[in-house]
Amino acid sequence: MELDSKNIHYDQDDNVSEEGHILDHWLYKLACIFYASPKFGEYSSSYECKPNLRKRFQEFEAKNLLISIAACSRNNLDIMDKRSLAMAEENSPKNVGVLIKSLSEEETIEVDLTYRESCNKIIHATKVNFDYSDSDPHFGGSLNPIVHLYGEHYKYSWKAVLNIENFIESAWNHG
């Protein structure tokens, strides 16, 4: 079955059907990962099940969703007409983070990270680090809604600091 990335279909009970908007589904799942992460620790019993599951899967799932959302969004951005694109940008945060570019070994420049550029950086990142509220995240700590992306463009390195809240809002508006 092919999923339609533009039209939402509802069943007789007003539930989104299987042919629903896949991008919105991914955005929901990404938001759930980041906003549920702190609650895992609060509601843990004496058993290690929940923290262990969080440790094993939250980064893996978040990375996969970011890549899927970025690839789908870049495709949508490339086919959007100018009017729709302007409306989406008007309703979205001005930036979704910060881009730090190395101009040389000694010189860097910081610029606002646009939504389009964030999709490119997610797709081309060679390293992804998640921001944790805990001092030692290796024990399944709580995610903050910030992601650090690293890569290179030609011979210069870059770092993008992605604000997940703004990214989700922009992706939803551009969807």
Question: Among 83, 87, 93, 153, which residue's Cα sits nearest to residue 120?
Answer: 153
pLDDT by residue, tens only, the chain of 175 residues: 344 444 444 455 555 444 448 899 999 999 999 998 888 767 655 566 666 777 788 999 999 999 999 999 998 888 888 998 888 888 888 899 999 988 677 888 999 999 999 999 999 999 999 999 877 665 567 899 999 999 998 888 999 999 999 999 999 988 7
pLDDT confidence of residue 43: 64
Instruction: Centre a 10 Å sphere on the Cβ of residue 154 and count the other Cβ atoms it contains.
Output: 4
Rounded Cα gap, residues 104 and 82, in angstroms: 36
- List phi, psi (to 5°) of 108: -125, 160
pLDDT confidence of residue 20: 43
pLDDT confidence of residue 41: 66
Spatial neighbors of 44 by CB under 8 A, at least 6 apart, are 50, 51
pLDDT confidence of residue 1: 37
